[in-house]
Amino acid sequence: DEAAELTGRAMIVRRADVIPMECVVRGYLYGSSWREYRAGGGPTTEPLPAGLQMAQQLPEPLFTPATKAESGHDENLTVAGARELVGDEVYERLRSVAIDLYRRAAVAAAEKGVLLADTKFEFGFVGDELLLVDEVLTPDSSRYGPADKYEIGAVMPSYDRQYVRDWLDSTGWDRTPPAPAMPDDVKAATRARYVEAFERLTGTAFDGYLR
């Protein structure tokens, strides 16, 4: 039966008009937000208190939207820039929903011993209905790590694509295509991190799930 063949690896979808803004929510000071903060700029949307350290939990989850670039790098938006892009009403809805989703996901991950430092959501409209679209809370769109290895001021081991980013940085690649060929050991180590994220968050053996 066709339904049985597709169960667990297919979903019914609707075409949406995607909002051209990535909705990033940060609970901890990592990555680009830490680099900007250390340089004296801080994230572009809201001021942060002085004296924070790398990896420190933020007083409240921070909404830092970015442009959704078709090519090249996404660019962080100011509040004014984001409001101009999507309108005041849509901006407030996106901010509220994205922060709520992050809070709920962070609690669920913590119950599994996983820290969700930040994540990215995308939204779209079907008529007047606001929908969550694209990938949600995957290691490609989120910064995950083992909660028991978390330490303020230190880099947390990652269950996400940060490992690949770090490898690319080590090659000296200047971001001009094509990217350098990825060695098999880097592929294997990346896969292992994604599998561990899956197994920790779902409580399911990855190999068993595929069968």
Domain coordinates of the chain in residue numbers? 2-155
- Give residue 144's Cα distance to chain centre: 9
Residue 125 three-state SS: strand
Q: 165, 150, 163: which is closest to 117 by C-alpha?
A: 150
Q: Model-level pTM?
A: 0.89
> pLDDT tens digits for the chain (211 residues)?
788 888 877 888 889 999 999 999 999 999 888 988 888 866 666 788 889 999 999 999 999 999 976 665 678 898 999 999 999 999 999 999 999 999 999 999 999 999 999 999 999 999 999 999 999 999 999 999 999 999 999 989 999 888 998 999 999 999 899 999 999 999 999 999 999 999 999 999 998 776 6
- What's the rounded Cα separation, in Å, for the pair 206 and 99? 29
Name the region of 200 (left: φ>0; alpha: ψ -120 to 50; beta: rest).
alpha
Q: Which tokens go with 6?
A: 């597709």
What ranges in the chain are assigned the alpha helix state H? Answer: 2-6, 31-38, 79-86, 88-110, 162-171, 184-202, 206-210
- What's the rounded Cα separation, in Å, for the pair 165 and 174? 12
Residue entry with tokens 């079907």: 126
End-to-end CA distance of the chain: 17
- What's the rounded Cα separation, in Å, for the pair 49 and 39? 14
- 2-155: what fold? D-amino Acid Aminotransferase; Chain A, domain 1 (3.30.470)
